[in-house]
Amino acid sequence: MKCLRLAILIGVFFNNDCLFSEENILSGHPRESYSDVKNIDEMEAALRDSLASIERHSFSRGWWVWDRLRCRYVDGGRKDSSALRVLRAVFRGLLLDRHKKLEEKGEGDLLYIFYTSLTGDRKESTLNVNGRKVFRDVHGGGYHGGWGGAARMRIYEELSSQKMLSAEEEVRFEEIVKQSLEPRFIDFKKKAQSANNHSFGNAGGIALALDLFPDAPQADEARAWIDRIWKNLSEFGDWTEWNYYPYGPIFLHGLIDIAEITGRIDTEKELINAVGNRCLGFIHGGGVRGNPNCGSVVRDDLELVYKDPWNYGYYDVETSARDGHFWYRLAKHYKNPYYLWAAEQVSLGGRPLNGKVSKEYDSAYERRFAWFIERDIKPKIPEGGAKIGLLSSLKNKIPERLYLNRDRKAGSAFAAFFLYPEKDEHLDNVSGHLYEYSVSGSKYLHTSGKYNNVYSGKDLRGGGTGEESLDLLLVMHNRHQFPLHPDRKGDDRDFMRRGSIKHDDAFVIAENNKFGDSYGRFAFDNYYGEGSRWERRVVLTREGFFIVLDRYRGGEILREDYLAGPVWHVGFDEAVKEGGQSKNWFDFPPLDNAWWKKKKSRALLISHPHSKAKYGLIKQKNSQDTSPNVTLYSYRPVSSLQDEYFLNLFIPYDLPVDSSSILKQTKTHLDSMGNAKIDLGHAGIEILIDESWSVVR
């Protein structure tokens, strides 16, 4: 039973050798369908007993999978009655029976199903409730425990409306809900009071509890808190958590939860769609994905996705199915084909340009999106093109990201930069870094900010020490070994970028020419020292060639003591050798590929040579949320109040093309005024970047 209980703890019964055979009534929950189950009485009883027997389970993440089963049952027209029986078994086993057992121990009044503002909810996993010990995942969740609150309440609402619970069970659950909202568990003026994953992830369950039990304790305080955190969202016009996986979908589900229950889904639809459209900008049809903070790699085993598209997402991230289900819910509310397209991209990976997919893919789509198929709502690709993604697009209109692309179709080239200079609590200051460059279903550049700059004692936990782990222009004191930036460790730390840089909102530009090529530029002031400035100009051609031109002018504080150069994190294989390099070019594989990518591809990085430049690569420990990579770099000394220019060119190519022929025919030119010219002889393309830009074929 050990393996079975472990599976229950995380909320899903996986089909594997550790469990039982397929025919066993305890295996494979939640199943694709329960319509053919003949022994549903036996299954319900056995599942309930198994769940009731476990000592601990996740009150935060463990309930999301059961809520998707509820959604599938409801959106399927409530035809699969056995699915409702399974939900009842889950509800009884994990909540009602748990409460009864705790009651027998004299601890029934210590069970709570929402979040708590008490201390001891994180590392210690033990809370003090009026001098009594309460254990996380035994008596309830910690501060994250309310993330599953909305799921629990929705399942209860469905069971109750269909008279699936006894009168005694109804009374018992009402008791659990009301004691969970008592002041001994929650002080609504403590913890998160702004719009983030904590507050919104927790608020959905409480909002529904107040709707179903309006006389609950602290009802006025709870409603005031919900109004307060929503006001924080509406007054700013957005939320500011950059750590998309896993926290983004937690916030966004909470957004829908609160909006549904309080009626804001209609009255605040302009704000909700503004947030939705900002997140829609993160997604393209290339079958790969970058984020400012995490790797978001394609899942190796897509059979899991095709077999169970409700519970496995295309990207191998924490609680991967939550992202697709957010887009599903938003698309359903607003009958929006763009949101449906986003749901398909993150759930199944999207379709190639020719539209041909396997039978398994088609089947998974039909099962996952049956509600939309029945209503003839089809996915539609959102408008593409180079643009400045805005934070708080309705109010503050803050440049947050820079997108370069001709369109968002499958295979089109895509590049994105993060611009907003405000640090989030979950993330180091990632401002200015390139977080994705993808061409034809291959992701060539992507770095991670999450878990960087994190130490356990003297040992680094992340994949670098912060700024060196980002694809940007790095500036370092020459006492340090470039690019090993000691921005959190040691006595001689360089804090000259972190928290001081300012984005020049007036400088940023994003545009396309009539041929589908893209151009963008941005700049940061006080970039490593007061008075310093970094400007980056980039061209992404419709074929996917990527040109990056940096201008750096150091402030007086730099004197003659600093080094500067661009840093890139690229895919690693045995062909990439570590060590110092005399050459100004590197050849490397993609970090990730779309499911439909058939050809093997690689890319060249060519740095325009400079007499003082040094080149190299380092293979570092990678962060837990990004693919193995190597740090490519070139650098040279910089001086105060002098302009320095750095030109880099990325050329993707498909094997068996010989990269040496590309190198021979590619020429770069850069003059002292920063005017750049690239001749791609192998492709017959000339690219100019100065005060204007052009691509000539």
Question: In one letter, which amino acid is 362?
Answer: D
Spatial distance between the Cα atoms of 253 and 260, rounded to a whole number of angstroms: 10
- The SS3 assignment for 571 reads strand
Specify the residue for token string 């009402």.
174
Q: E-assigned strands of 467-545?
A: 473-477, 502-503, 509-512, 518-525, 533-540
Give pLDDT, residue 241.
85
Q: What element of type H or E holds 344?
A: helix 337-348
Question: Could you tell me the CA-to-CA distances from 406 to 187, 544, 687 in Å, in that order?
Answer: 50, 10, 17
| Three state DSSP letters for 224-244 | HHHHHHHHHHHHHCCCCCCCH
Find out whether the peptide bond into 246 is cis, omega within 30 degrees of 0.
yes
- Structure confidence at residue 32 as a pLDDT band (50, 70, 90): confident
Tokens of 180: 């969970």
Spatial distance between the Cα atoms of 233 and 237, rounded to a whole number of angstroms: 6
- Structure confidence at residue 245 as a pLDDT band (50, 70, 90): confident
Spatial distance between the Cα atoms of 153 and 205, rounded to a whole number of angstroms: 6
**Cross-strand partners of 631:** 569, 618
Give pLDDT, residue 243.
74
Of 300, 421, 280, 298, the C-alpha closest to 349 is 298
17 or 96: whose pLDDT is higher? 96
Spatial distance between the Cα atoms of 139 and 185, rounded to a whole number of angstroms: 11
Spatial distance between the Cα atoms of 391 and 399, rounded to a whole number of angstroms: 6
**pLDDT per residue over 50-73, tens digit each?**
999 999 999 998 999 999 999 999
Locate the domains of the chain by residue range: 287-375, 387-646
Mean pLDDT of 621-640: 80
Least confident of 163-167, 287-291, 571-575: 571-575
The answer to whether 188 touches 224, Cβ cutoff 8 Å, is yes
- Structure confidence at residue 427 as a pLDDT band (50, 70, 90): low
Q: What share of the chain has pLDDT > 90, as a percent?
A: 74
Q: What element of type H or E holds 203?
A: helix 197-212
Answer CATH for 387-646 from 3.40.47.10, 2.70.98.70, 3.40.50.720, 2.60.120.260:
2.70.98.70
Q: Is the pLDDT of residue 580 over 90?
A: no
**pLDDT per residue over 503-526, tens digit each?**
999 999 999 999 999 999 999 999
Question: What is the pLDDT of the chain when averaged over all its residues?
Answer: 89
Give pLDDT, residue 292.
83
Neighbours of 603 (CB within 10 A): 24
**pLDDT per residue over 367-406, tens digit each?**
999 999 999 999 999 999 999 999 999 999 999 999 999 9
Mean pLDDT of 634-660: 96
